[in-house]
């Protein structure tokens, strides 16, 4: 289930003490606030109580970045234990498998890749590479190979749910495909294995061909796949008049745009711009970035739907829900992923593209704005999710993005870490660095691609069916939101 309580509605959100701190100390306080959600009532090693599976996976990635950028090792042991505890079958632990979606698994896999790229110390016996590769293999096996569907969209893509018995199986999902794309791109860079480059190209090409990424760089949410199964009458379609009748491919696409999907793609296209000489990756990057700038860093109120608050060209806004106060407990965490991938894009991109200069004000402005939305509460620095109106005066009743919560905290943590990412950082590649143990002693050098086979201790066939996903309700909510957004 999702986080269901937001006990701390902050009434005052002017935090001069937070603002006067240097960025590292600010990150330290917000990381401590994030980790406070873990220690109170452990839901299982590596899982934050009440959080979605992906949110926990993303939190560990944030804490790996935190360690790398601040040198503070406070959370390293917890990160190591989490990655080990949830690693089964390529991050498909048995008690998540009924509800887990492809995007969630990919988020955990990317956490393992971050550990590799940043040289995060491994626990003896755990190969982060084998974990990421195991997840890659299972996602790749789910790539849709059925015929072009009756709506004219070419075969390909990842569904939202991996399992036919779950809602979301009949939804071709951009985020799942985009994360798989980024995972492929980063594994290609880390390993030098061309299989991953080809897979990344396949994924991006399909996103374009299907219309989920359009010529202007807009990144849409997904579409209902009517050809897939008998479950297509489920969830969202009943709440959306267009999706239950029309099969024209262009009107079938759910055109809501989320920051995490767009930035997931941008990060991957920049990685590939660095790795290959194919100009297509640079042009795709620049097209995506232009769209991201206008959609998620809106310059004026008129570009933020239905709000009288100030847009600010340097502050990240979850435009589909934040201005209208409808972000749910999951959607408030999306900006964290977006802020992370924008910041690390500066490291990934070839220097000739001038990405750091282009994104600097957005990285810095979002960090500053997010920090202003945090307050000390009984010794914990807790943050809210609505950054663009820093005064807090426009928080609407029932707007959970104006309250504190784990998702908001993750987004704030990523935002304040982002300015610490700089152009001198060089990411690791396989074979270029000694692997360290928990205590930092170098014991081995990576030489080859680890086998994923050993991780596959629980097969999909062993899973019991029937349970509806934790996010079953979200698909209809999301489609309803899309409808609301379109009519405005
Ligand atoms: C899930 O598995 C972990 C061990 O990995 C365990 O600690 C936790 O209690 C389990 N949770 C549920 C709901 O079964
Ligand atoms: C860049 O970031 C790295 C890692 O956090 C840090 O060691 C280094 O001092 C930074 N360099 C500059 C010029 O800020
Ligand atoms: C490249 O990656 C693929 C996919 O994981 C794997 O099957 C293949 O063995 C790898 N090739 C090498 C040379 O490691
Ligand atoms: C790619 O990035 C590396 C640093 O990780 C850098 O040395 C190299 O010059 C870059 N290549 C291009 C084409 O920008
Ligand atoms: C946008 O927000 C940033 C960070 O809060 C602030 O420094 C800047 O002055 C704002 N710009 C405008 C035009 O309001
Ligand atoms: C560090 O760990 C390695 C391998 O577990 C061990 O051999 C070594 O003695 C440890 N070093 C210290 C200083 O604890």
Which has the minimum average pLDDT: 163-167, 323-327, 392-396?
392-396
What average pLDDT score do residues 10-17 get? 37
Where do the structural domains in the chain lie, given as residue ranges? 8-481
Evaluate if residue 241 carries a pLDDT over 60: no
Instruction: Give every CB contact of residue 371 below 8 A, 6+ residues apart in sequence.
Output: 15, 18, 19, 26, 30, 412, 415, 416
How many CB atoms lie under 10 A from the CB of residue 259? Answer: 28
The residue assigned the tokens 């629980």 is 458
Query: For position 419, what pLDDT does the model report?
Result: 96
Q: Which ligand is nearest to the CA of 421?
A: 2
Question: Does the beta carbon of 193 lie inside 6 Å of ligand 3?
Answer: yes
Question: Does the beta carbon of 428 lie inside 6 Å of ligand 4?
Answer: no
Question: Does the beta carbon of 449 lie inside 6 Å of ligand 3?
Answer: yes
What average pLDDT score do residues 349-367 get? 94
Q: What is the CA radius of gyration of the chain?
A: 21
The better pLDDT of the pair 171, 306 is held by 171
Is 221 in contact with 260 (CB distance < 8 Å)? no
Distance in Å, CA 153 to ligand 3 centroid: 30
Residues 359 and 297: their CA atoms lie apart, in Å, by: 11
Evaluate if residue 340 carries a pLDDT over 70: yes
State the CATH architecture for 8-481.
Alpha/alpha barrel (1.50)
What band does 382 get if pLDDT is binned at 50, 70 and 90?
A: very high
Q: Which ligand is nearest to the CA of 448?
A: 3
Is 90 in contact with 456 (CB distance < 8 Å)? yes
User: Which mutation among 188, 350, 355, 428 tests ligand 4's pocket best, with the greatest number of atoms within 8 A of CB?
Assistant: 350
Distance in Å, CA 44 to ligand 1 centroid: 5
Distance in Å, CA 438 to ligand 6 centroid: 8
Question: Does the beta carbon of 309 lie inside 6 Å of ligand 5?
Answer: no
- Which is nearest to 412 in space by CA: 322, 335, 329, 320? 335
What average pLDDT score do residues 322-335 get? 90
Percentage of the chain surpassing pLDDT 90? Answer: 56
Residues 312 and 315: their CA atoms lie apart, in Å, by: 6
Strand 380-383 versus strand 374-377 pairing type:
antiparallel
Evaluate if residue 129 carries a pLDDT over 50: yes
Query: For position 394, what pLDDT does the model report?
Result: 45
Question: Does the beta carbon of 85 lie inside 6 Å of ligand 1?
Answer: yes
- Segment 43-64, tens digit of pLDDT: 889 999 999 999 999 999 999 9
Question: Does the beta carbon of 426 lie inside 6 Å of ligand 4?
Answer: yes
Which has the minimum average pLDDT: 146-160, 197-211, 265-279?
146-160
Q: Which ligand is nearest to the CA of 423?
A: 2
- Segment 383-424, tens digit of pLDDT: 998 887 655 544 455 566 778 999 999 999 999 999 999 989
Which has the minimum average pLDDT: 21-25, 234-238, 320-324?
234-238
Residue whose Cα lies nearest atom 6 of ligand 6: it is 441
Q: Which ligand is nearest to the CA of 90?
A: 3
Query: For position 226, what pLDDT does the model report?
Result: 66
Q: How far apart are the first and last CA of the chain?
A: 31
Whether the model pTM is above 0.75: yes
The better pLDDT of the pair 486, 167 is held by 167
Highest mean pLDDT among 154-163, 173-182, 358-367, 382-391: 173-182
Residue whose Cα lies nearest atom 1 of ligand 2: it is 422
Query: For position 300, what pLDDT does the model report?
Result: 55
Which has the minimum average pLDDT: 78-82, 302-306, 431-435?
302-306
Question: Does the beta carbon of 184 lie inside 6 Å of ligand 5?
Answer: no
User: Which mutation among 13, 15, 316, 369 tests ligand 5's pocket best, with the greatest number of atoms within 8 A of CB?
Assistant: 369
Question: Does the beta carbon of 195 lie inside 6 Å of ligand 3?
Answer: yes
Mean pLDDT, the chain, integer: 78
Residues 142 and 161: their CA atoms lie apart, in Å, by: 10
Residue whose Cα lies nearest atom 4 of ligand 2: it is 69
* Contact residues of ligand 6, CB 6 A cut-off: 124, 437, 439, 441
Residue whose Cα lies nearest atom 14 of ligand 6: it is 439
What band does 151 get if pLDDT is binned at 50, 70 and 90?
A: low
Q: Which ligand is nearest to the CA of 366?
A: 5
Query: For position 96, what pLDDT does the model report?
Result: 87
Evaluate if residue 42 carries a pLDDT over 60: yes
Evaluate if residue 368 carries a pLDDT over 70: yes
């Amino acid at each position: 289930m999702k986080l269901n309580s937001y006990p701390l509605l902050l009434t005052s959100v002017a935090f001069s003490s937070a603002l006067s701190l240097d960025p590292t100390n600010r990150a330290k306080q917000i990381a401590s606030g994030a980790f406070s959600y873990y220690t109170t009532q452990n839901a299982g090693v590596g899982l934050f109580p009440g959080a979605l599976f992906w949110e926990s996976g993303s939190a560990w990635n944030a804490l790996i970045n935190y360690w790398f950028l601040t040198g503070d090792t406070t959370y390293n042991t917890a990160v190591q234990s989490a990655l080990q505890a949830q690693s089964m079958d390529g991050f498909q632990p048995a008690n998540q498998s009924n509800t887990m979606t492809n995007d969630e698994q990919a988020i955990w896999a990317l956490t393992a890749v971050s550990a590799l790229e940043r040289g995060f110390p491994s626990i003896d016996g755990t190969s982060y590479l084998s974990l990421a590769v195991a997840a890659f293999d299972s996602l790749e096996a789910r790539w849709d190979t059925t015929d072009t569907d009756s709506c004219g969209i070419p075969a390909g893509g990842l569904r939202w749910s991996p399992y036919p018995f779950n809602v979301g199986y009949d939804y071709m999902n951009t985020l799942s495909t985009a994360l798989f794309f980024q995972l492929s791109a980063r594994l290609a860079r880390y390993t030098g294995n061309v299989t991953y480059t080809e897979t990344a190209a396949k994924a991006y090409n399909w996103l374009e061909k299907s219309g989920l990424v359009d010529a202007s760089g807009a990144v849409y949410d997904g579409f209902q796949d009517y050809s897939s199964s008998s479950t297509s009458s489920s969830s969202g379609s009943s709440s959306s008049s267009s999706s239950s009748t029309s099969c024209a491919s262009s009107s079938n696409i759910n055109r809501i745009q989320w920051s995490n999907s767009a930035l997931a793609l941008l990060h991957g296209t920049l990685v590939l711009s660095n790795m290959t000489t194919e100009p297509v990756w640079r042009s795709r990057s620049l097209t995506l970035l232009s769209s991201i700038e206008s959609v998620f860093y809106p310059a004026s109120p008129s570009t933020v739907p239905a709000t009288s608050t100030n847009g600010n060209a340097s502050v990240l806004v979850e435009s589909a829900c934040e201005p209208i106060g409808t972000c749910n407990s999951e959607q408030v965490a999306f900006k964290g992923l977006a802020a992370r991938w924008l910041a690390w894009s500066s490291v990934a991109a070839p220097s000739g593209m001038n990405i750091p200069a282009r994104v600097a004000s957005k990285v810095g402005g979002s960090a500053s704005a997010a920090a202003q939305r945090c307050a000390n509460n009984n010794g914990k620095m807790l943050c809210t999710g609505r950054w663009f109106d820093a005064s807090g005066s426009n928080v609407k009743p029932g707007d959970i993005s104006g309250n504190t919560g784990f998702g908001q905290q993750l987004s704030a943590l990523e935002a304040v870490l982002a300015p610490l990412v700089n152009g001198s950082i060089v990411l690791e590649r396989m074979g270029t660095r000694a692997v360290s143990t928990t205590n930092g002693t170098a014991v081995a050098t990576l030489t080859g691609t680890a086998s994923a086979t050993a991780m596959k201790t629980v097969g999909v066939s062993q899973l019991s069916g029937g349970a509806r996903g934790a996010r079953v309700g979200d698909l209809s909510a999301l489609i309803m939101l899309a409808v609301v957004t379109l009519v405005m």
